[in-house]
Every structure is written in structure tokens, then in C-alpha cells.
Chain A
Amino acid sequence: MLGFDLYRPRTLQEALKLLAEFKGSARVLAGGTDLLISLRAREREDVKNIIDITSLRVLDFIQEDDSRLRLGPLTAHAQIADSPHIRQGAGLLAAAAAAIGSPQIRNRGTIGGNVVNAAVCADTVPPLVALGASVKLERMEECRWLPLEEFITGPNRTRLEADEMLTEIAFAKLTATAGWGFTRLARREAMAIARMNVAVVLERDSRGRVVTARIAPGAVLASPARIPQAENILLGQCPDEALIHQAGQAVATAMTASGSRWSTPYKEPAIIALTERAIKQALEVEWR
């Protein structure tokens, strides 16, 4: 493990002040399930100061108002998976959080860390994108909001400035009529990073026509985004098997258009299936 100085600020202000002082040489430590791994692998020689925020309880909350859900970045995956608010208002996020790693990792790992670490396979990111989440970034005396898709700019890259912290994640709750789906593919049952995942939110009118479609795949594009080409296929339609398949293909096409990798020949057919299944889940039709 690399050596560093560790700070345990008691208030958010104190933490932000430290960040401002240290400029680029400091990192925030939340659950540590990403950061400690890279420090152990001696990958982050530039990090000299670690600011442990785990005692900042003000960053650990799940709040619900009439229309929105607001999460503190320190909320652990296990809390998200178990929260009645989130299961009700953002079931796909609860499902994604429940699929992460192991009980140990879910107890420790936080949603803030998952988002800021910005791995292409991060499980909470596609649901958050499909929910239209925004992130609140704070620095001394200043704060800004960014849509999540804008915040994450590439694999492990974000718009977070050296003196900023993520302090809140917020999104509109799903309405009672909305359906959601979350599918995930990994090499084994538990404790396995997703090879790909897909989050889907659909709303239909009383005649069954899709009026809102949000489809966000993970580990498919370099940075998270919805796939409008796929969404448009469903919009205004009562999706049948063929249409759902077309939507899946549209996601695959978006993936291949963004570049080809060693895994593309596998991922292309597999993402079609994952997308179809997520859509069917959202439509509450049997997909097996």
C-alpha cells in the first residue's frame, strides 16, 4: 500500500477546505473499495493525502419528497438495496445495488464512490442515467449541479475538479405507472463485475403505448448515455417481440459504432438479449 497522510475532517466545510488546500494531491476516501485497491496496487503515486469522509454523516441520507429522491453520496449499496423509498421510487437502482459484489462490498461501497470512480461497468450508473439523475458538486462556497451523463466523461473520468466533492445525487421518482428493468451479465453468480448491464424505464399510456422510454446500457459505450435510437423505436408503440428486438439491435449498433474491441463479437449478440430482457421486465412480460 502506498503511504499517505490521512485526514478525518469533522464537517463538510473542513473537508472542502482540505481539498482546496491540497489541490490535486488529495483524494476523498469513502468506502475505499475502489480507492484502496488502486493504492495497494501502487497505481496512484500522485495521491499524497487522503481525506476520509466516512464520519461525515451529513453525506449519508436517503430523502424523499413529493416527486424526488435525494441520496447522500455516502449511502452504502446495502442501504440502497434495502431502502423502501428506493425500492418504491427507483426499483431499478435497488436492483442494481443488490447485485454489486458481496454483502461485504455492499456494506462498505457507496453510491458516491461508484459514480465518481466511473468504471464503465459501474452497476448503479445505468439506472441513475435512466432515472435522469443529477449530481451535486460542492467546493468551498460554491456548488453546481450536473446531469450524470455530463459528469462522467469516459472510463474512470469525470468532471470533478480537484477541490470538489460530490455531495448529493438526485432524481425524479418513478411514477406509479412507470415500469423498469435492470439486467446484468457476469461470469459467475455473485462477486463478479458486470460484463454488461442495461437499465430501462418505460411509461405507457392507458392504451399500452410507450410514452416515455429511457434505455441506458453499461459497459457498452465509453461513457454512460441513453440510446435514443433504441428509445425512439419504442416510443408511441405497443412493443411486440419484433420491436423489442429492434430496440436491442439499436443498442448493439450504438455499441459497435463507438468502436470495436476484442470482446465485441461476443458483446454484440449478448447486449441485444440483455436489452430485450430489460425492456420485457419493464413491460412486465415473461422473458425466459
Chain B
Amino acid sequence: MNKLPVTLIVNGREYKLTVDANERLLDTLRLQLRLTGTKEGCGVGECGACSVILDGQLVNSCMVLTAQCDGARVETVEGLGTATKLHPLQQAFIDYNAVQCGFCTPGMLMAAKALLDKNPDPSEAEIRQGLSGVLCRCTGYKQIADAVKAAAREEK
């Protein structure tokens, strides 16, 4: 198996890395960069816990090879906000009790961000469509959808 040089811009910071040909973006983020906010729930594109924004597009980072991402910009939950300056989505997730176990939360947040980046004023149906690639087993989704709606209002 060959190794490839890759330059990644993750949350605005540039990394020059060498990766195995079969290394997934998810593993690079979690193991090499220690950005463990992005989670793995299935490894096959179904649960969305690994969702990140790659060059402006929401993707499952378990379904992308890092070597495919040379020069790409990656946004993860760690780049969303900080404890003192939360992103409106993060604040809304707290306020609307959209977090239970929290394992789907990073994926949900990134899916919601990708949605609002493209469509700042989504309908309930559009919110649900936008989040449909992330599974949550705890919340029944209602408070999550409510939080995204509130964050959209907030950002306006």
C-alpha cells in the first residue's frame, strides 16, 4: 500500500500530512489530528455521526479517503464555536434540549450548518431533509429540528 502526501485545511488551519492510501478522512481527523468530536457509528455512510463539511459540501467522512482531499477545506464540530463564543446552532442545541447522549450531536450540527449555509430560512420539511442523513436513537429528533429552526431565526 502506498502513502500519499496531503495538505488539508481543517477549521482554517493547514496541515501537511502523509497518509496511507486507504486511510479515511474520519481516521485522519480522529487519530492523526486528534479531532475526536467527529464520531464513527457505522462506517458505511448510514448513521451520519461522522459528517463533516468538505469544500462546502456535507459528506460522511467515513466514505472519503483522505488522499482524495488534497488541498481541501474541512470543517468539523471543533471549528464551529468555542465555549465562550458558541455558534448559534450550538447554543440552540443546548437551549432546546436537543442533546441527550450527544453521540449524534456533532454530525447533526454539521448537517444543520451545511443546510443553513445554503438555505438560511428553511421550512420544517427542508430542515428534516437536511438532517435526514444523521441518525439519532435518543431524542426522537423533535428538539433537534426545533433547535435548528431557532438557530435559523437567530442568525437572521
Interface residues of A (CB under 8 A from B): 1-6, 8, 29, 31-33, 36-37, 39-40, 50, 52, 54, 78, 101-105, 107-108, 189-191
Contacts and interface: CB of A to CB of B under 8 A. Distances in A.
B65 A108 contact: no
A189 B81 CA distance: 32
B22 A102 contact: no
B21 A4 contact: yes
B45 A101 contact: yes
B138 interface: no
5 contacts: A6-B4, A8-B70, A33-B45, A40-B43, A102-B134
Contacts of B60: 104-105, 108
A33 B63 contact: yes
A8 B2 CA distance: 12
Interface stretch (B87-95, B96-104, B125-133, B144-152): B125-133
Interface string B71-115: 000000000000000000000000000000000000000010011
Given A4-B1, A8-B70, A52 B65 contact: yes
A104 B133 contact: yes
A80 to B, nearest CB: 14
Interface stretch (B10-18, B31-39, B51-59): B51-59
A185 to B, nearest CB: 17
Interface of B: 1-2, 4, 20-22, 24, 43-46, 48, 51, 57-60, 63-65, 67-68, 70, 111, 114-115, 129-130, 132-135
Given A101-B45, A102-B48, A191-B46, A8 B58 contact: no
B39 to A, nearest CB: 14
A1 B24 contact: yes
Contact of B44 (A6, A31, A40): A40
Nearest to B46: A191
Contacts of B59: 104, 107-108
Contact of A29 (B43, B68, B115): B68
A228 B57 CA distance: 41
Given A6-B65, A32-B63, A104-B58, A39 B22 contact: yes
Nearest to A30: B68
A107 B58 contact: yes
A103 B114 contact: yes
A189 B132 contact: yes
A103 B113 CA distance: 13
A79 to B, nearest CB: 10
Contacts of A2: 22
A39 B133 CA distance: 22
Most buried by A among B1, B65, B129: B65
B67 A8 contact: yes
A40 B67 CA distance: 16
Contacts of A36: 24, 63, 65
A1 B1 CA distance: 12
A78 B59 CA distance: 12
Contacts of B114: 103
A101 B47 CA distance: 11
Given A4-B21, A5-B2, A189-B132, A104 B45 contact: yes
Given A108-B60, A108-B64, A37 B1 contact: no
A5 B20 CA distance: 9
A190 B126 CA distance: 13
B64 A6 contact: no
Contacts of A5: 1-2, 21
Given A102-B134, A103-B115, A104-B133, 9 more contacts: A3-B20, A32-B63, A33-B45, A37-B45, A52-B68, A54-B68, A103-B130, A104-B51, A108-B59
